[in-house]
Structure 1
């Protein structure tokens, strides 16, 4: 569905209020091995607005490098530091607290 100019302005205003976006991967940015049609446009918009964003996943069975490679194959331009897995979150928590 096309976005009219009034809604476009409202969306832009909301995006400008947010400093950093945490984007879940499977089911949000892509499903399985298929990028959602709106994902690249949204990521491009975030880059246009100079917004920070990271990709997060609760799948602890793979390292971040796997997701970087997968997203790159799908046409997403990103840095390794932009992917954060639940296993990495656990490691950081344990290192910080024990």
Structure 2
């Protein structure tokens, strides 16, 4: 749960909330939410890390476009993180 960066968790949330988004769709969604431009050199290595760790599945839409889908492990990680955050918020306020 704590082995990911905040950016990687943000990527997981975007992927979890979409139906097999492309990298470009993920990039656009995050740029809209964060208000900052995200370059490919930051996006794709982080997506590859999530794939390598088994939190995201990568597939092919066409010869130039991949899709990303959250795995059961990725969903479980997000649920664990939310529970951890909720426990901190409930106890701290």
Higher-Rg member (1/2): 1
Question: TM-score, structure 1 length as denominator?
Answer: 0.29
Higher relative CO (Cα under 8 Å, sequence separation at least 6) belongs to: 2
Question: TM-score, structure 2 length as denominator?
Answer: 0.30
- Of Structure 1 and Structure 2, the greater strand share is in 1
